[in-house]
């Protein structure tokens, strides 16, 4: 994730902190420092409980991650944000029982931690009225072990319960989708779960607007957007999963030679609809000149620099039989508008976001009882 710093790695999973994360520590210090004018002790309390809460968030995300690894799902990283944390899995398994276990593993960690935290809570004499709201307010901001353990215990328990609300993209939404998918088609189960999630987002937002606080409005916004994105992703995967690059790529894509000046790429960009170019030595692919790289080279080295000096050589090509959905996800993740298509070492053409979009639109409207023709939906360039 852009704008994040790597902290450490566990079982090959990078733990990263977003650059805005320190803002939550500042907020915690101000929030508890101003509480009943408790000043510096309250501010220190706020920083400590905020750090403990995010340690719990990290363990929660490790719960998801280790469950995913158990089912062979790679985990890219865990990113800590001011509003929580997220484990970025390479994919969500469509096997309902696997998704159910992965989704439930996070809250299960919270409930396990709650049992462990009961020990220090009991040793510090905080069991009486443990879940009472008044008692929580009295202890909040007091720089003592008992107050810190009480507040951490309740925050951890709240995190586990809150995440089980049946609203995407929270764990409860995924649990709901998994339970529905046991009996219903996966896409239909997702649509139902998305609708419920977005309805709950409206209720949370209304609650926040009527006095629940700005944080609830913020959570409602992210729940609504996250649910919509999950629905779009599943719809796209459902439509594109049986399609291949060979059905979509542009066979008439223009290419450049390593010895061509950058000016030729600029001229072609201005005179055609193409802005990304494969660089070939004969029919052999040797690199890719993206539009972003073209503009960067033009600003830094001028229009006469040979394309071979500024092209990218670290972008792996795709093949005509590669799954279109995976290729589209790769382009999105790497912020690429095009990828070269190669077979048996020979350059065939480019697959672009435009090509994918065109085939997606056609496949979405195609009669379900008729197979889509296995020919290229080649776009003119």
Whether residue 35 has pLDDT greater than 70: no
pLDDT tens profile 258-287: 999 999 999 999 999 899 999 999 989 999
Q: Which residues sit opposite 6 in a β-bridge? A: 16
What confidence category does residue 20 fall into, taking pLDDT thresholds of 50, 70 and 90? Answer: confident
Q: What is the DSSP letter of 37?
A: G
What confidence category does residue 306 fall into, taking pLDDT thresholds of 50, 70 and 90? Answer: very high
pLDDT tens profile 332-347: 888 899 999 999 889 9
Question: Whole-angstrom Cα distance, residue 327 to residue 308?
Answer: 25
pLDDT tens profile 38-70: 678 888 888 898 899 999 999 999 999 999 999
The string of DSSP letters for 192-258 reads HHHHHHHHHHHHHHHHIIIII-HHHHHHHHHHHHHHHHHHHHHHHHHHHTT-BGGGT-BTT--EE-T
* Portion of the chain with pLDDT greater than 70, in percent: 90
Place of tokens 């796209």: 236
Token pair for 317: 């090509």
pLDDT tens profile 136-189: 666 666 777 778 888 888 889 989 998 998 888 789 999 999 999 999 999 899
Nearest CA among 181, 102, 192, 114 for reference residue 149: 114
pLDDT at res. 220: 86
The string of DSSP letters for 309-372 reads HHSB-----B-TTSBHHHHHHHHHHTT-SEEEEEETTEEEEEEEHHHHHHHHHHHHHS-TTSPP
Q: What value, to the nearest 5°, has the Cα angle with vertex 201 and ends 107 and 207?
A: 100
Q: What value, to the nearest 5°, has the Cα angle with vertex 231 and ends 227 and 237?
A: 145
């Amino acid at each position: 994730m852009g704008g994040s710093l790597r902290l450490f790695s566990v079982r090959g999973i990078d733990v990263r902190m977003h650059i805005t994360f320190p803002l939550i520590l500042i907020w915690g210090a101000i929030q508890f420092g101003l509480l009943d004018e408790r000043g510096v002790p309250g501010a220190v309390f706020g920083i400590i409980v905020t750090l403990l809460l995010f340690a719990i968030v990290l363990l929660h995300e490790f719960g998801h991650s280790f469950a995913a690894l158990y089912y062979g799902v790679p985990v890219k990283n865990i990113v800590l944000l001011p509003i929580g944390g997220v484990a970025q899995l390479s994919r969500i398994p469509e096997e309902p029982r696997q998704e159910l276990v992965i989704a439930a593993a996070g809250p299960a960690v919270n409930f396990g931690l709650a049992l462990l935290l009961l020990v220090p809570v009991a040793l510090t004499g905080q069991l009486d009225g443990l879940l009472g709201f008044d008692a929580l307010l009295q202890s909040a901001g007091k720089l003592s072990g008992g107050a810190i353990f009480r507040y951490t215990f309740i925050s951890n328990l709240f995190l586990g319960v809150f995440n089980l609300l049946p609203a995407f993209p929270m764990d409860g939404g995924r649990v709901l989708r998994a339970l529905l998918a046991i009996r219903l088609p996966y896409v239909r189960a997702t649509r139902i779960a998305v609708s419920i999630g977005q309805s709950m987002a409206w209720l949370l937002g209304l609650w926040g607007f009527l006095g629940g606080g700005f944080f609830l409005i913020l959570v409602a916004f992210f729940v609504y957007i996250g649910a919509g994105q999950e629905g779009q992703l599943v719809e796209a995967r459902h439509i594109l999963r049986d399609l291949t690059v060979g059905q979509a790529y542009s066979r008439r894509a223009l290419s450049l030679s390593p010895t061509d000046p950058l000016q030729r790429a600029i001229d072609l960009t201005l005179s055609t609809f193409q802005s990304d170019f494969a660089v070939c030595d004969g029919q052999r692919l040797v690199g890719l000149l993206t539009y972003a790289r073209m503009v960067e080279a033009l600003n830094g080295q001028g229009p006469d620099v040979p394309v071979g000096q500024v092209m990218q050589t670290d972008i792996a090509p795709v093949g005509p039989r590669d799954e279109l959905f995976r290729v589209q996800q790769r382009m999105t993740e790497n912020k690429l508008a095009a990828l070269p298509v190669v077979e048996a070492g020979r350059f065939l053409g480019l697959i672009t976001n435009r090509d994918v979009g065109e085939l997606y639109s056609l496949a979405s409207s195609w009669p379900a009882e008729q197979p889509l023709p296995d020919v290229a939906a080649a776009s003119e360039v």
